[in-house]
């Protein structure tokens, strides 16, 4: 049993799954559009949570939130089911495929056999689509891969019931009830408003304030935790920004692509203009990553390199503050 399903590669798993699922249901929506409408751009610094033995920095909201917000703005419903029983989880999935519904699945990355070693961590908020079964094996469309793949039932069970933070608990989800018409203008404005509010939030660890807090912390790291650990923190920060399927520059390029598409769609030239500025900010994030990685590679560094990194991040925060204030006015 196979469902007719077209696989599109994407930069980030959650937007990719959202976009793939909706396109297959007949609602044309690109990955940047799904990301933007889901208000996916975010920044949060959680110094008290350690990921890979370094303070957690996230460039996106909690897993699942992007798709939920997207669904809300488009006026469609998403059904989510979690399981405690493993056999039941598989049975329901098989049943949904038999009914011709491709399902989005939340899975853990560590046991995914087709991922390279360098990407396999206990990160449990990865998303993929199961769209069929061939013999015993499940047909899988993982949005970050170029082509579709297959997983054996055992492998699939293992990744669906990965444990730890954000344990997926075999979660499956699929859209039900698609809207007849979509009010794009309203959806886009609401989504942008939410992103502006997030990034300019008066909370010290969120948005541009979060960036400033990190910038201040970078200067203190070498004294507080020692050189090697400070460099490890920096390396993890760059990993979060560039590696975890962000499409480059901590999602800034996807967001710029969204602004361009949205601006053209609803005929708002201001958004198209601002898209260019976002691209420039994204480029500066890439430069920041290059400099931070260089500090790591050199190993022995004076205090001044941390100060200059901190300044770079401060200026990024300033630019983004200006940017989101302008964006708020543009809508």
Partner 1 sequence: MKESDVPQDKSSLKENDIKELCYAVNEKGEYVTALSSGWDTKTIVQEATLHQIEERILEAKQQVREGIYSPIVYFMELNRMDMQTLCAYVSMWKWRVKRHFRPSVYNRLNDKILQRYADAFGISVAELKAFTGKE
208 neighbors 199 (Cβ within 8 angstroms): yes
CA-to-CA distance for 8 and 31, rounded, in angstroms?
9
Sole binder of partner 1 in the list 72, 169, 193, 239 (CB under 8 A):
239
Q: Is 11 in the site for partner 1 (CB under 8 A)?
A: yes
Pattern 240-279, binding to partner 1, x per CB under 8 A? --xx---xxx---xx-xx--xx-------------xx--x
Estimate to the nearest angstrom the gap between the alpha carbon of 252 and the chain centroid: 11
C-beta of 286 vs 319, nearer to partner 1:
286
C-beta of 108 vs 133, nearer to partner 1:
108
User: Which tokens in the block code for residue 262?
Assistant: 């949205």
C-beta of 208 vs 254, nearer to partner 1:
254
Output phi, psi for 46, to 5 deg: -120, 85
Q: Is 56 in the site for partner 1 (CB under 8 A)?
A: no
Minimum distance, C-beta of residue 97 to partner 1, in the bound complex (Å) = 26
DSSP, collapsed to helix, strand or coil, labels residue 176 as strand
- State which of positions 95-124 bind partner 1 (CB under 8 A): 110, 116-122
Q: Is 218 in the site for partner 1 (CB under 8 A)?
A: no
Sole binder of partner 1 in the list 47, 113, 164, 226 (CB under 8 A):
164
How buried is 320 (Cβ within 10 angstroms: 0-12 exposed, 13-18 middle, 19+ buried)?
A: buried
CA-to-CA distance for 152 and 70, rounded, in angstroms?
31
- State which of positions 282-321 bind partner 1 (CB under 8 A): 282-283, 286, 289-290, 293, 296-297
C-beta of 123 vs 138, nearer to partner 1:
123
DSSP, collapsed to helix, strand or coil, labels residue 145 as coil
Pattern 117-156, binding to partner 1, x per CB under 8 A? xxxxxx---------------------xxx----------
72 neighbors 182 (Cβ within 8 angstroms): no
Minimum distance, C-beta of residue 232 to partner 1, in the bound complex (Å) = 6
CA-to-CA distance for 128 and 172, rounded, in angstroms?
10
| Short-list 294, 296, 290, CA closest to 230 | 296
C-beta of 39 vs 231, nearer to partner 1:
231
Minimum distance, C-beta of residue 265 to partner 1, in the bound complex (Å) = 13
CA-to-CA distance for 166 and 24, rounded, in angstroms?
27
User: Which tokens in the block code for residue 124?
Assistant: 């449990």
**What is the separation, in whole angstroms, between the first and last Cα of the chain?**
47
Q: How many of the other CB atoms lie within 10 Å of CB of 195?
A: 23
C-beta of 35 vs 67, nearer to partner 1:
35
Minimum distance, C-beta of residue 59 to partner 1, in the bound complex (Å) = 14
CA-to-CA distance for 83 and 69, rounded, in angstroms?
23
How buried is 329 (Cβ within 10 angstroms: 0-12 exposed, 13-18 middle, 19+ buried)?
A: exposed
- By CB under 8 A, the count of residues binding partner 1 is 50
Binding window for partner 1 (CB under 8 A); candidates: 5-13, 18-26, 189-197, 303-311: 5-13
Minimum distance, C-beta of residue 88 to partner 1, in the bound complex (Å) = 19
Interface with partner 1 (CB under 8 A): 9-11, 32, 50, 52-53, 110, 116-122, 144-146, 163-165, 167, 231-232, 235-236, 238-239, 242-243, 247-249, 253-254, 256-257, 260-261, 275-276, 279, 282-283, 286, 289-290, 293, 296-297
């Amino acid at each position: 049993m196979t469902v007719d399903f077209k696989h599109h590669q994407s930069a980030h798993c959650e937007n990719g799954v959202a976009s793939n699922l909706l396109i297959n249901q007949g609602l044309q929506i690109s990955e940047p559009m799904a990301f933007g409408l889901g208000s996916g751009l975010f920044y949060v610094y959680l110094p008290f949570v350690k990921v890979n033995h370094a303070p957690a920095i996230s460039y996106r909201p909690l897993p699942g939130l992007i798709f939920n917000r997207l669904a809300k703005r488009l006026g469609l419903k998403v059904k989510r089911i979690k399981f405690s029983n493993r056999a039941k989880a598989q049975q329901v999935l098989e049943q949904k495929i038999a009914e011709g519904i491709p399902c989005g699945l939340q899975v853990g990355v560590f046991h995914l056999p087709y991922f390279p070693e360098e990407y396999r961590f206990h990160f449990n908020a990865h998303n993929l689509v199961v769209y069929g079964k061939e013999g015993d094996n499940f047909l899988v469309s993982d949005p970050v891969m170029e082509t579709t793949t297959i997983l054996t039932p055992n492998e699939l069970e293992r990744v669906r019931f990965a444990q730890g933070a954000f344990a997926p608990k075999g979660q499956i989800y699929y859209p039900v009830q698609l809207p007849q018409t979509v009010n794009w203008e309203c959806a886009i404005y609401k989504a942008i408003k939410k992103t502006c509010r997030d990034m300019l939030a008066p909370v010290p660890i969120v948005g541009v304030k979060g960036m400033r807090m990190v910038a201040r912390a970078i200067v203190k790291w070498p004294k507080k935790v020692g050189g090697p650990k400070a460099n490890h923190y920096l390396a993890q920060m760059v990993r979060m920004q560039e590696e975890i399927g962000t499409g480059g520059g901590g999602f800034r390029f996807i967001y710029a692509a969204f602004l361009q598409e949205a601006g053209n769609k609803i005929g708002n030239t201001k958004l198209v203009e601002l898209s260019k500025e976002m691209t420039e900010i994204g480029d500066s994030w890439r430069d920041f990553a290059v400099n931070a990685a260089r500090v790591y590679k050199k190993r022995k560094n004076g205090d001044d390199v941390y100060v200059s990194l901190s300044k770079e991040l401060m200026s990024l925060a300033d630019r983004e503050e200006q940017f989101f204030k302008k964006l708020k006015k543009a809508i």
